[in-house]
Amino acid sequence: MLHTKLIKDFSEMRTLAFSPPYPLLDTIEDAERRGKRWRVIMAYERNSENTQWVAVLPDSDESQFFSDGNQLNGRWDPGHDIFIPEMGSPLDLHGKPVSLSSIEEEEEEADAEEAERKWDIARHRARENGSLSWGQGEC
């Protein structure tokens, strides 16, 4: 199971069980010197030494993804919890490529199911209240 931790304090970066990559620390130190906002997302699995890091610089809409000694530049999509590199496929917090279109399709399906569920609840309540007789509002 993937665990995540949101870090917004530089001193917290130095006390983590997992050592952040030096380029990540350099990025955060530079942002601090320039007075820029930043946050870091740390993603890890228990009993694993693999840790992914995403440095998010919201003022510039830039992000960096660090995993297994690799560093990618791009942007963080907080709505989908994915990193979109300048070149290549979007990555999830496991560092695995994902399809943005399939994520959006799943969201559309979930939204349609939620809308149908709300419609069913509203029809049921209307019937209970006597404001809708059986057969009305049926398709």
| For the chain, domain boundaries | 2-97, 99-132
CA distance 9 to 39: 8
Check if the beta carbon of residue 127 is closer than 8 Å to that of residue 119. no
Specify the amino acid at residue 26.
D
C-alpha radius of gyration, the chain, whole number: 22
Q: For 46-91, how does the pLDDT look when each residue is reduced to its tens digit (9 = 90+)?
A: 888 789 999 999 888 899 999 988 999 999 999 889 999 999 899 9
Tokens found for residue 121: 């609840």
CA distance 121 to 75: 39
Closest to 52 in 3D by CA, of 61, 62, 63: 63
Closest to 54 in 3D by CA, of 35, 80, 34: 80
Q: For 90-138, how does the pLDDT look when each residue is reduced to its tens digit (9 = 90+)?
A: 999 999 998 876 666 777 777 778 888 888 888 888 778 776 655 555 5
